Structure 1
Amino acid sequence: MTQQAHWDSSLAFIFAMIGAAVGLGNIWRFSYVLYSNGGGSFFIPYFVAIAIMGIPFLILEYGVGFSFKESFSKIMQKIKPQFEVIAWILVLFVFIVVIYYMVILSWDLIYLLSSFTFNWGTDTAAYFVNTVGGSSNLSNASFLLIPTTIGVFLLWVVLWFISHRDVDKGIGKVSKILIPALFVIMAIIIGYSLTLPGANVGIDTLLTPDWSMLLNVNIWLAAFAQIIFSLSMGQAIALTYASYLPENSKLTDNVLIVVASNSGFEICTAFGVFSILGYMSVTAGTPMVQLVTEGTGLVFVVFPMIFNVMGPIGRILAPLLFLAILFAGITSALGFLEPMLSSTSDKLGWSRKKTATVLSVIGCAFSLLLTTGISSYLVGIIDTFVNEFGILLLIGVQCIIFAWFYGLEHLLPALNENSTFKVGTIWMFIIRYLLPAVLIIMWVAGIIQLFSTAKAFEIMIDLIIIIAVIVFAFILSKAKPAGDS
């Protein structure tokens, strides 16, 4: 049996949880979701989603992890032995997330280095395709994008170096440094961007409400999806981190701190992003609608284009932005790796160091497969499928298992004993009935959209993932401890 890891304080846990939650999605996804789903009116479904999904489910995860003080696979096995395979399916899906996440971080690392010389040139889209992320042309799968390949290898070494240490000396210490640094950097970027000429144009474009869209069910689904991805809900990260907490921890208070920090970060970042887009629109005469995009297009194509025309200040803002993304990404990647690390170490009786080493080698090998000339295309396929099919379904399954097979009333003493904010009947109703219903609707809607638009190659990748996850989940659930070495 491996020794149970622990945080030296609730502060280390809070910073690690904020680190896991605040990631790439907060920086490049939220502003686009807000803009394209009714602007200012989107805040209504957004805060409703936080209240009835984000906070209640995180409280559930904290309560389960803290009460059991075990890895996710061991917890599920204790509730009912047959449930262990479900735990392995989830942690394998989350491990796949870290595999492609490291590729995106490698793109960012290349842009961080490029930001000192602006060697992405004037055609920023061509630079991304040819040097960093590739395209959807399958014939390009025959060669590697060497800068991305090198970046992936280096970042996996960094991830291994942090994660193979005790949680407090590794993740805890790094999170205490990177999260305050991230918040300071983003405060500088946002503060300056708000002073740019045209910032008000960007913010007006972002916030102009379209109240009629509140009657559209897709806006509400978008809000719930944003909260799931933004808070890394249901991915066994919060549950695993909470299992390392010391006694007398204020669980629900910690949930509110993490949720408030996460939402505050992504809302403020959206103001910064749209201030910069507004500046570009006014100075270059480009309509806002042509500039607004999400994900890699925004960060790796539009932003470098804007930095090009900014003059000397662009030389400062560019490295700061890509450094902020790197910090946010590393702390999130540590969170994505932890459920697999904790469950594997617990199951096989391996030391944390050995488990982290084996998983880092395996993870790095698969990440390298995603650095070919179709890198961004592959990452997009896997990201959509893992989140919309795998993780969304398994969040609903967790709600049902913890509410109906384990019993939420068993968690109330631990949740309420030291917390200022107490939970009870309303919280149990949400977890038992409301959340599973919302999640099933979201999952069905996502699956219909996923497979109605998917090409044959994309469906093939999806099927490979499903088969691999199920096979390895059954193998791991049947594995016997091998003794520490």
Structure 2
Amino acid sequence: MAQKEKLQCLKDFHKDTLKPSPGKSPGTRPEDEAEGKAPQREKWASKLDFVLSVAGGFVGLGNVWRFPYLCYKNGGGAFLIPYFIFLFGGGLPVFFLEVALGQFTSEGGITCWGKLCPIFTGIGYASVVIVSLLNIYYIVILAWGLYYLLQCFQQELPWARCRHGWNTNKSLWLSANATNLTSPVTEFWERNVLSISSGIDEVGGLKWELALCLLAVWIICFFCIWKGVKSTGKVVYFTATFPFLMLIVLLVRGVTLPGAAEGIKFYLYPDLTRLKDPEVWIDAGTQIFFSYAICLGAMTSLGSYNKYKYNCYRDCMLLGCLNSGTSFVSGFAIFSVLGFMAQEQGVAIADVAESGPGLAFIAYPKAVTMMPLPTVWAILFFIMLLLLGLDSQFVEVEGQITSLVDLYPSLLRKGYRREIFIAVICVISYLLGLTMVTKGGMYVFQLFDYYAASGVCLLWVAFFECVAVAWVYGADNFYDAIEDMIGYRPNGWMKWSWMLITPVLCVGCFVFSLVKYKPLTYNKFYEYPDWSIGLGWALALASMICIPMMVVIKIIQSDGSLIERIKAVAAPVKGGASSRPKEYSLKNSELLHPLDPNGIHAFSKHSHTIVETTIMDRSEDEDDAQVHIPMEMLLFQSIKE
């Protein structure tokens, strides 16, 4: 039998052996089920699955509606100086750290720290608290976007004129600069979509249209992830790529509008004097941590599904370029349209520039009504918005689920238990999110957004991640692990960032954020009551307290003197943190010899146990060339020859 035909035969045998039985989770093997073991961990079907999942996870709404606004607000092109300092000194190093940690340990956001550095298991719990709160409110934006998208399928966009029941006698089209008058776009947003109340004290009733939209996006999110990485890895082929196509279309349309040049100039014109303001540096740091979706456990979870020998360093650097590049290009698409709108209304660009929901649901919808074929451009914009948010949402939920399932793998990976667990998490999150689709829901939404997943929380977690890896586990030790995985040592700037640069940047930004803290307001006028501010800080501390609390718990649970206890819980678990498969220690030449089950080369396993090894197919790509072959099959083929 030819070598290539024999290899294909072995592949087919291996594929059939690991094929799950009906009703079983992917990766379930008969002997695992018989012995009560957790099913094997899934892996990405291809390199592109991982790349697109990460791209979809961190290229989201913040790239489109937050970065361009921060850039113009903080000195235009001058803002890029602190942005790139935080990018290379904090964002990329922590992003790569989390992905590499997941790949090294083959564990989710909590259990990876339990393996690597048990005393800092609280980092994982803090990340899960943050991402759980984030998943509750982030998806509300998608509910608003879906509502707007459905409203576009009318003869005329409903926010284009003042002839509706929600409009007041103060509504006036194209006269936003007139005193005491509001545009129909603003009234559609506040009076029709939100039906906003007077304050957070007055929550009011549910907006049933929004509640149904929220239910719809949660159902979509569930079916995107319910089969694990095998479903997530395929869905992102559409959700992670189509928004880029839409962004390019909107960019081309924007730069061809009259007034676009002034908008772009306003976006990029550098004002170096703004660099003296600490808030500029705070905005740069928090934007980096937001846009790279770090300190949420999601990147660690995605990395945990990589093959051990996958070159994650290369792809992390490329993905970083994609993320920041998307943010930068989005500014051209947004500010070209804002420049056009300012020219049409005869006002300054600063008067129409918005950030966050104000940009997505007021400024841009208003701009498209001034274009030819406004319905078409509105539909394209909200489809892009939905897809950008959707893949970020289900990737973060996948990270949350993976972190929790890995805590109890024997319980939650069997049969359909994982799917049921995902459904329970989605239902609970949906019910909690209903508070944000009431008449006072916008106030609740902003409270979560300002405190629950704030920059302060992310900076806190990032600092301890670097301390745990660089100073407790050891930066050189982690570099050795990375070299073992990817085949070479990355540039030294990563190690120095973990050891020094990133912690210093995190501490500086954290301190300045507290010093410059301003209580939350809505629309710059409504001031939140004291009890709600206290609730907001409770949401923030719910994650931050996990790290010191788990340090104390781990020390108390260990034995010996205080120093002995600290040393015991600071060391990796017995057996090491690595998930390195044992077959990588075997030489390829050894696999071609007949294996005598009773001889000196025997494996001390029972006859019914499948022992996996590796055979290399040089005709395939090196990253995908490792094929796991049951040892009995190799023995059978060798004897047959």
Equivalent residue letter for 1:440: V
1:141 to 197, 203, 223: 203
Match of 1:73 in 2: 110
Q: How does 1:424-439 map to 2 (within 5 A)?
A: 424-439=491-506
Q: Which has the higher helix share?
A: 1
Match of 2:535 in 1: 461
Match of 1:483 in 2: none
Tell me whether 1:333 sits opposite 2:393 in the alignment.
Answer: yes
1:42 to 51, 69, 79: 79
Q: Deviations over 1:299-339 (max 9, x none)?
A: 10111111222232x22111111111110101101122123
Q: Deviations over 1:350-378 (max 9, x none)?
A: 13312211211111111112211122221
Tell me whether 1:83 sits opposite 2:145 in the alignment.
Answer: no
Q: Identical aligned pairs, as a percentage?
A: 26
2:425 to 359, 366, 370: 359
Equivalents in 1 of 2:205, 2:456: separation in Å?
Answer: 30
What SS does structure 2 have at the residue aligned with 1:138? coil
Equivalents in 1 of 2:337, 2:216: separation in Å?
Answer: 31
Equivalents in 1 of 2:497, 2:119: separation in Å?
Answer: 25
Equivalents in 2 of 1:252, 1:136: separation in Å?
Answer: 50
Equivalent residue letter for 1:427: M
| Residue 415 of structure 1: how far off its partner (Å) | 3.0
What SS does structure 2 have at the residue aligned with 1:411? helix
Match of 1:283 in 2: 344
2:377 to 317, 321, 341: 317
Could you list the runs of 5+ residues in structure 1 that have no partner in the other structure? 479-485
Equivalent residue letter for 1:461: L
2:479 to 412, 425, 437: 412
Match of 2:226 in 1: 164
What SS does structure 2 have at the residue aligned with 1:347? coil
What SS does structure 1 have at the residue aligned with 2:369? helix
Tell me whether 1:63 sits opposite 2:100 in the alignment.
Answer: yes
Equivalents in 1 of 2:58, 2:197: separation in Å?
Answer: 29
Tell me whether 1:126 sits opposite 2:187 in the alignment.
Answer: yes
- Calculate the TM-score normalised by the size of structure 2: 0.70
Match of 2:597 in 1: none
CA contact (8 A) 1:72 1:343 kept: yes
Equivalents in 1 of 2:117, 2:420: separation in Å?
Answer: 28
Could you list the runs of 5+ residues in structure 2 that have no partner in the other structure? 1-37, 162-183, 521-527, 555-641
1:5 to 39, 42, 47: 42
CA contact (8 A) 1:190 1:271 kept: yes
CA contact (8 A) 2:480 2:489 kept: no
Match of 1:442 in 2: 509
Tell me whether 1:343 sits opposite 2:380 in the alignment.
Answer: no
CA contact (8 A) 1:18 1:179 kept: yes
Equivalent residue letter for 1:389: V
Equivalent residue letter for 2:372: G
Count of aligned pairs between the two proteins = 475
What SS does structure 2 have at the residue aligned with 1:12? helix
What SS does structure 2 have at the residue aligned with 1:142? coil
Q: Deviations over 1:404-440 (max 9, x none)?
A: 2222223324434575985254322211122112112
Equivalents in 2 of 1:136, 1:241: separation in Å?
Answer: 42
Mark the CA change 1:2 to 1:395 in structure 2 (over 3 Å): closer, same or farther: farther
Equivalent residue letter for 1:366: L
Mark the CA change 1:47 to 1:472 in structure 2 (over 3 Å): closer, same or farther: closer
Equivalents in 1 of 2:492, 2:514: separation in Å?
Answer: 32
Farther-moved stretch of structure 1 (30-39 vs 174-183): 174-183
Q: How does 1:134-213 map to 2 (within 5 A)?
A: 134=196, 137-168=199-230, 170-213=231-274
Farther-moved stretch of structure 1 (287-296 vs 216-225): 216-225
Equivalent residue letter for 1:204: K
| Residue 78 of structure 1: how far off its partner (Å) | 2.1
Match of 2:90 in 1: 53
CA contact (8 A) 1:451 1:459 kept: no
What SS does structure 1 have at the residue aligned with 2:240? helix
Equivalents in 1 of 2:513, 2:379: separation in Å?
Answer: 36
Equivalents in 1 of 2:487, 2:376: separation in Å?
Answer: 43
Equivalent residue letter for 1:141: V
Match of 2:449 in 1: 383
Mark the CA change 1:213 to 1:11 in structure 2 (over 3 Å): closer, same or farther: same
Mark the CA change 1:457 to 1:135 in structure 2 (over 3 Å): closer, same or farther: farther
Mark the CA change 1:223 to 1:388 in structure 2 (over 3 Å): closer, same or farther: closer
Equivalents in 2 of 1:421, 1:327: separation in Å?
Answer: 37
- Calculate the TM-score normalised by the size of structure 1: 0.92
| Residue 135 of structure 1: how far off its partner (Å) | 5.1
Mark the CA change 1:50 to 1:419 in structure 2 (over 3 Å): closer, same or farther: farther
Mark the CA change 1:197 to 1:419 in structure 2 (over 3 Å): closer, same or farther: farther
| Residue 341 of structure 1: how far off its partner (Å) | 0.3
What SS does structure 2 have at the residue aligned with 1:458? helix
Tell me whether 1:14 sits opposite 2:51 in the alignment.
Answer: yes
Equivalents in 2 of 1:218, 1:359: separation in Å?
Answer: 37
Tell me whether 1:374 sits opposite 2:440 in the alignment.
Answer: yes
Equivalents in 2 of 1:322, 1:136: separation in Å?
Answer: 28
Q: Deviations over 1:255-281 (max 9, x none)?
A: 111111111111111101000011111
Equivalent residue letter for 2:346: G
CA contact (8 A) 1:66 1:242 kept: yes
Equivalents in 1 of 2:208, 2:394: separation in Å?
Answer: 24
Match of 2:364 in 1: 303
Equivalents in 1 of 2:437, 2:390: separation in Å?
Answer: 18
Equivalents in 2 of 1:156, 1:25: separation in Å?
Answer: 20
Equivalents in 2 of 1:288, 1:240: separation in Å?
Answer: 42
Equivalents in 1 of 2:487, 2:446: separation in Å?
Answer: 42
